[in-house]
């Protein structure tokens, strides 16, 4: 199907060489159609401006031209486009502002050459692996630090050992797992992380399996992180404790010529940091200033709507970051960590 602009008809493309079946795709009424983009799921998104609430805003249409939904803004709308790593962030220009929102669909890849922004050169080994038991643990525990490193040129991969399907007493488990996986993907995108891996362990872990240990060894050997984030050793929340043991045992397994099921080359992260979630650390070795990224951390955390609807923990973790910042002298806001492993810097004579 080909869409033409400015009120022209829509055509079917026959054999890639000719147009046929010209027709009106949809009637925008009195609005002045401005932006238009197609989405991977086949829907068409348009923006139109008019000083009247009914046609003004962003509209989405099915491939057959049927109106599906509409976004209204407090200003006259002009153009729109999808952006972000996964093209799930919708940008809308309006009278005096640019708006953006995350949507549950994905824009088509651009046909234009990719514009590359100049970024600081990343360090030689520049990958982060962040692992959590549940889909929101990483954002809570180290979201501000991960974002800060990404801004400096690091790559980040997230791993959710479970999909958090036990996180509600009323929502069906499979529905909740899918919702929380989507929330985790969106939160990772807000931070700028590359991808989220879900290991599919059952939420409410009491122990881990050998297969899950091999899966984490595989990831460590594939991603080859320089920094690994995981639950701190003192975290007494049962799932977090099991995942801490799982990951630390996988770290040991990934480091040497063992586990023939895992084909990757041995690797050991140089730095391993334990983060806090529900049980604030009673002591810590490292405080990271996240003043510049705390807002992004909160944006990522608020992607976990299924959890925040029942408990506004985003406010609690904003308060914790403020407390950590003030008490550690690191900055206005901070995240603190248990240092489980760090490159040695020994006094002369021992090195």
Non-local CB neighbours of 166 within 8 Å, separated by 6+ positions: 173, 203, 204
* Cα 308 versus chain centre, distance: 16
Q: Which is nearer to Zn ion, 89 or 180 (CB)?
A: 180
CA distances 235 to 184, 230, 338, Å, are 21, 10, 11
Q: Which is nearer to Zn ion, 34 or 276 (CB)?
A: 276
Least separation in angstroms between residue 328's CB and Zn ion is 23
Chain residue whose CB lies nearest Zn ion: 134
Q: Which is nearer to Zn ion, 133 or 232 (CB)?
A: 133
Measured distance CA(216)–CA(273) in Å, rounded: 16
Q: Which is nearer to Zn ion, 137 or 226 (CB)?
A: 137
**Joined tokens for residue 327:** 């008490």
Reference 334, options 276, 277, 291; nearest CA is: 291
Q: Which is nearer to Zn ion, 137 or 189 (CB)?
A: 137
Least separation in angstroms between residue 243's CB and Zn ion is 8
Least separation in angstroms between residue 221's CB and Zn ion is 25
Secondary structure of residue 161 in the 3-state scheme: strand
Q: Which is nearer to Zn ion, 133 or 205 (CB)?
A: 133
Asked whether the beta carbons of 156 and 150 are under 8 A apart, the reply is yes
Q: Which is nearer to Zn ion, 131 or 215 (CB)?
A: 131
Measured distance CA(252)–CA(246) in Å, rounded: 10
Q: Which is nearer to Zn ion, 148 or 304 (CB)?
A: 304
Least separation in angstroms between residue 41's CB and Zn ion is 31
**Chain positions contacting Zn ion, by CB under 5 A:** 133-134, 137
Measured distance CA(181)–CA(241) in Å, rounded: 21
Reference 95, options 31, 54, 49; nearest CA is: 49
Measured distance CA(124)–CA(76) in Å, rounded: 47
Least separation in angstroms between residue 340's CB and Zn ion is 18
Least separation in angstroms between residue 235's CB and Zn ion is 9
Non-local CB neighbours of 175 within 8 Å, separated by 6+ positions: none
Least separation in angstroms between residue 174's CB and Zn ion is 19
DSSP state of 282: S
Least separation in angstroms between residue 237's CB and Zn ion is 6
Asked whether the beta carbons of 293 and 299 are under 8 A apart, the reply is no
Q: What is the radius of gyration, based on Cα positions, of the chain?
A: 24
């Amino acid at each position: 199907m080909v869409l033409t602009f400015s009120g022209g008809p829509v055509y079917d493309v026959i054999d890639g060489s000719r147009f046929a079946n010209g027709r009106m795709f949809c009637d925008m009424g009195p609005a002045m159609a401005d932006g238009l983009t197609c989405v991977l799921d086949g829907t068409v998104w348009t923006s139109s401006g008019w000083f009247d609430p009914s046609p003004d805003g962003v509209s989405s249409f099915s491939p057959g031209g049927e109106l599906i939904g509409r976004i209204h803004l407090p200003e006259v709308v002009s153009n729109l486009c999808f952006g972000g790593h996964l093209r799930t962030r919708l940008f809308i220009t309006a009278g005096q502002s640019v708006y953006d929102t995350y949507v549950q669909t994905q824009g088509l890849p651009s046909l234009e050459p990719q514009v590359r922004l100049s970024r600081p050169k990343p360090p030689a080994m520049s990958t982060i692996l962040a692992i959590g038991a549940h889909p929101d643990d990483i954002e809570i525990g180290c979201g501000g630090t991960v974002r800060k490193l990404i801004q400096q040129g690091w790559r980040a991969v997230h791993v959710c050992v479970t999909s958090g399907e036990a996180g509600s007493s009323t929502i069906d488990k499979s529905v909740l797992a899918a919702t929380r996986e989507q929330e985790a993907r969106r939160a990772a995108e807000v931070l700028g992380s590359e991808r989220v891996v879900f290991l599919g362990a059952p939420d409410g872990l009491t122990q881990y399996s050998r297969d899950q240990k091999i899966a984490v060894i595989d990831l460590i050997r594939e991603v080859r992180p320089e920094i690994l984030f995981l639950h701190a050793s003192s975290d007494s929340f049962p799932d977090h404790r099991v995942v801490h043991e799982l990951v630390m045992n996988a770290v040991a397994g990934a480091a040497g010529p063992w586990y023939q099921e895992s084909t990757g080359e041995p690797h050991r992260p140089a730095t391993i940091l334990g983060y806090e979630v529900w049980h604030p650390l009673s002591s810590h070795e490292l405080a990271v200033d996240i003043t510049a990224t705390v807002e992004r951390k909160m944006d990522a955390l608020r992607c976990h709507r299924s959890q925040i609807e029942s408990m506004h923990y985003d406010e609690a973790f904003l308060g914790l970051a403020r407390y950590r910042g003030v008490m550690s002298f690191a900055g206005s806001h901070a995240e603190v960590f248990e240092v489980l492993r760090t490159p040695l810097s020994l006094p002369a004579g021992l090195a």
